Structure 1
Amino acid sequence: MNHSIEEDIIAYRRHFHRHPELGWLEYCTAAFIADELLNLGFEVKTGHEVMHVDNLMGLPAEQDNVIAFEKAEKIFGQEKMQTFANNSTAVAGILKCGDGPCVAIRVDMDALPITESNASDHFPNQAGFVSESRGVMHACGHDAHMAIGLGLAQYLAKYKDQLDGNYILLFQPAEEGVRGAASIVKSGFLKNVDYLLAAHMWSNMPLGKVVCSQNGTAATDKLDVTFYGKAVHAGICPEKGNNAILAAANTILALHEIQFIGEGLKRVNIGRMEGGTARNIIADRAKLEIELRADSQIGEFELLEKLEGIVKASAHKEGCSFEIKKVGEASAARGDDSLAKLISDEANNMNCFRDVILSDKTNRGSEDFTSLMIDVQTRGGKACFVGVGASPDKDLEHHTPDFDIAEAALNSTAVLFFNLIKRLKKEHL
């Protein structure tokens, strides 16, 4: 039985939703995507061919890595999986169609550590594609993004005789925590790209709305700060110890205040704290998991500088040493106006988009794509981050157990990108 591309896109989305994998552990996901791209006639690059595999940020625990990799080996075979070993889970499909611009589409792959809702009105549960991975789900639309990417691959393969240029579908690992893009930038993989695009499905944006250039993404740093003190008996000789938890607590209080200093958006969050060994022992270790965000790169540098000063002062006060480790980062970036205008023109030509916004500065958090945008723009290329309304009938937020998107938005986004690709061969901006 022949399926339409739209039906295949929905099937892809449900497959990925059923089998989510966390960042740097997208082994089965990457192997599946590579096979699909090969079957469609794409040249496929994987692992170190796409990314710089040294010094990856925010890697998972080694035990989790071994479990995820061995699972993929059982499904796809040891030989096929070797190219993805050691968290090298990036995949790129390349289609060469003669002279013309090089257009790349970024697609993110990773899921989140969230237990999916089993409520009777949760559509993935109703339709039988709820997550099969305990405590992990696609709660930010990356399942939809991958489906759109593979759907676009089908359109490109089917109509490649209408194309002139080189086309790259870049499937990026570890977007959550803004960890994965840096490895691709370091590799130089995008050095010949003229146009770079990505789309994000928004469950809290009305179906039929598209923002051609989202410019409100914040610069961010994700940091692990560890304090090292000296453990002693808390009742007999506390004065001989150095309290790492106290150094961490003073840091928390001081950090909370700096987000209110100066102009512009600033966000500081200490999402997790751990430390100590027992109630009657002065803590010799404490760790904070922190994120900083600002609406400009300058603002982010200022936050980071202030954090470093606060950590140093807090540690010194308690006689502790400290370590600051960066486990994720992304930049603030602005899309190119001329490319946004072209996206707007194509979206307005499609009946499915009823509310086309050229650009906005709405705060939608941070996005790893901005590092790729800046890399391409610095080399003279153009880039835009596109927001697509995908709200189902009820209002849903991202990163929640009941997250879902309207599948009607999937094919229209793939077609929008395909139409843009055809347009760009005629109008080299």
Structure 2
Amino acid sequence: MEINHSIEQKIIAYRRHFHANPELGWLEYSTAAFIAEELLNLGFEVKRGHEVMQVDNLMGLPAEQDNQLAFEKAEKIFGPEKMQAFANNSTAVAGILNCGEGPRVAIRVDMDALPITESNSRDHFPNQAGFASESRGIMHACGHDAHMAIGLGLAHYLAKYASQLKGNYILLFQPAEEGVRGAASIVKSGFLKDVDYLLAAHLWSNMPLSKVVCSQNGTAATDKLDVTFYGKAAHAGICPEKGNNAILAAANTILGLHEIQFTGEGLRRVNVGRIEGGTARNIIADGAKLEIELRADSQTGENELLEKLESIVKASAHKQGCSFEIKKVGEASAACGDNSLAIQIRDEAMNMNYFTDVILSDKQNRGSEDFTSLMKDLQARGGKASFIGVGASMYGKNLEHHTPDFDIAEAALNPTVALFFNLIKRLSRSHL
């Protein structure tokens, strides 16, 4: 790909704009509207909201007050008419470029930020360069700002060189990746049902610059669950026996979950990340809630964990005479990329002057990723998919994701765009 320095600077500007203006999952109203405007200006057909996703039964929705504030903020910037399609958490947006007969290729881009307060250290590059988060308590701490910049940078190159391509190209900007909530809505909509190839890239702050993993296959299946116990209040000093202690039910569940003995090979993870319950120290608690996640490196292992959780919750509630509710607020599949597609990605990466450490595939544990649900759904219909990992460490620093001082090297942005574009050209030629 011929480097266009004007587009390269736009990519960096996009990244800094998104970093300064982060929005949480299902609240990406201003982000989605901004992306839609950019895609329209580049000549893409733009699909919004319910045209891309199924809007019923979304998982892990934010509080209504937070939703209203975020939507009203976006309305003031973009106007009610442009925001109408994104209302009620319908924040997916896609750009489609039709270049005639050929492959249908989709690139998935995640959009949401995290509830983290960004570092105010002078050594933190976004502070030095003046693009740190302007929303207190919210931060792009996983690289989604960079991913969106890469997506829009790719849009510029696709639009500029459309005459050289054959096929149909979709840039899919997905909401609510954190908590693995958003992909399910797109799977249910069938928006990608005719796609031949599906790709996504993740920049890693703890992976060296110029390294690329063409197929990351270590992402775990996961379930995010809210478990609520319903008990009966009573005076803790006079007649505790007349109550049903929801906190005790929750506590026994925590102990039971963390005492699970894993059998067989593979990764298994159980964590209770948050507990709340009760009203006062002298009242038997009539309510308690646990926020839990399960992970396993196979769907079979994940299903086993879920069965064990349900059994432990039921037994703990029964012991205290409580009722309970288990609500799923996020989920993702375990999936592996297609080796034949990974080989093509490897070949293109090796043809570039930038990447010096090219890995075909690995199974390193990098947590869970919403993209796998899209991948698995597409593969079940005969399509091919791959999840690419790109090194973006800052000057050799291994900054961890989901932390206040997270940052990525902007030097990784344009090469990732180039890798996508070169692969698209390769796929386009293969169908001639």
TM-score normalised by the shorter chain: which range applies? over 0.9
2: CA distance, partners of 1:52 / 1:143? 24
Give the partner amino acid of 1:201.
Answer: L
Structure 1 residues 185-200: aligned runs within 5 Å: 185-200=187-202
Q: CA deviation at 1:316?
A: 0.3
The residue that corresponds to 1:37 in the other structure is 39
Query: By how many angstroms is 1:350 displaced?
Result: 0.5
Once the 2 structures are TM-superposed, how far is the Cα of residue 242 of structure 1 from its aligned partner?
0.2
CA shift digits 1:5-50 (9 cap, x unpaired) = 1100000000000000000000000000000000000000000000
Amino acid of the residue matched to residue 164 of structure 1? K
Shift of 1:4: 1.1
Distance in 2 (CA, whole Å) between partners of 1:379 and 1:9 is: 34
2: CA distance, partners of 1:265 / 1:376: 25
Listed one character per residue, the Cα deviations across residues 242-279 of structure 1 (whole Å, up to 9, x for unaligned) are 00000000000010022644431100000000000000
> 1:28-81, CA deviations, whole angstroms, 9 ceiling, x for partnerless residues?
000000000000000000000000000000000000000000000000001110
Alignment of 1:77-226 (within 5 A): 77-226=79-228
Q: Paired residue for 1:406, among 375, 386, 409?
A: 409
Matching of residue 342 in structure 1 with residue 344 in structure 2: yes
Superposed CA offset, 1:373-401 (max 9, x none): 01111111000000000001122000000
- Residue from 396, 399, 404 that aligns with 2:399: 396
Q: Which amino acid in 2 is paired with 1:185?
A: V
Secondary structure at the aligned position of 2:259 is classed as: helix
Using the alignment, how far apart are the partners of 1:395 and 1:124 within structure 2? 17
1:422 paired residue number: 425
**Structure 1 counterpart of 2:41, which letter?**
N
Q: Distance in 2 between matches of 1:272 and 1:379?
A: 38
State the identity as a percent: 86
Matched, 1:283 2:285: yes
> What's the CA shift string for 1:117-153, capped at 9, x where partnerless?
0101000000000000000000000000000000000
- AA aligned opposite 1:213: S
Between the two proteins, the alignment pairs up a number of residues equal to 428
> Displacement of 1:171 after TM fit?
0.1
**Residue 331 of structure 2: SS of its match in structure 1?**
strand
- Structure 2 residue 45 is the aligned partner of structure 1 residue 73: no
- Match of 1:28? 30
SS in 2 for 1:356: strand
Secondary structure of residue in 2 paired with 1:258: coil
Give the letter aligned to residue 423 of structure 2.
Answer: L
Match of 2:155, SS? helix
Q: How far 1:312 sits from its partner (Å)?
A: 0.3
SS in 2 for 1:70: helix
SS at match of 1:4: helix
Q: Compute the TM-score of the two structures, normalised by the length of structure 2.
A: 0.98
Given the superposition, is the C-alpha separation of residues 22 and 207 from structure 1 closer, same or farther in structure 2, using an over 3 Å criterion? same
* Separation (CA, whole Å) in 2 of partners of 1:243 and 1:66: 36
How does 1:381-392 map onto structure 2 within 5 Å?
381-392=383-394
1:259 and 1:267 in contact (8 A); partners too: no
CA distance in 2, matches of 1:148, 1:412: 9
Specify the code of the residue in structure 2 equivalent to 1:409.
Answer: A
In structure 2, give the amino acid aligned to 1:47. Answer: G
Whole-Å separation in 2 of the counterparts to 1:379 and 1:39: 33
Q: Amino acid of the residue matched to residue 306 of structure 1?
A: K
Match 1:298 to one of 297, 300, 311? 300
- The residue type equivalent to 1:369 in the other structure is F
Q: C-alpha displacement at 1:428, in angstroms?
A: 4.8
Distance in structure 1 (CA, Å) of the matches to 2:79 and 2:30 = 11
SS at match of 1:95: strand
- Contact 1:5/1:154 (8 A) holds in 2: yes
What value does the CA root-mean-square deviation take over the aligned residues?
A: 1.0
Q: TM-score, normalised by structure 1?
A: 0.99
Rounded to whole Å, the distance in 2 between the matches of 1:257 and 1:110 is: 34
Give the AA of the match of 1:398: H
- Residue 426 of structure 1 aligns to a residue whose secondary structure is helix
Quick check: 1:225–1:324 contact (8 Å CA) kept in 2? yes
Find the residue that maps to 2:324 and give its secondary structure: strand
Task: Trace 1:318-333 onto structure 2 (pairs within 5 A).
Answer: 318-333=320-335
Distance in 1 (CA, whole Å) between partners of 2:204 and 2:394 is 10
Q: Distance in 2 between matches of 1:335 and 1:282?
A: 51
Q: Which amino acid aligns with 1:299?
A: G
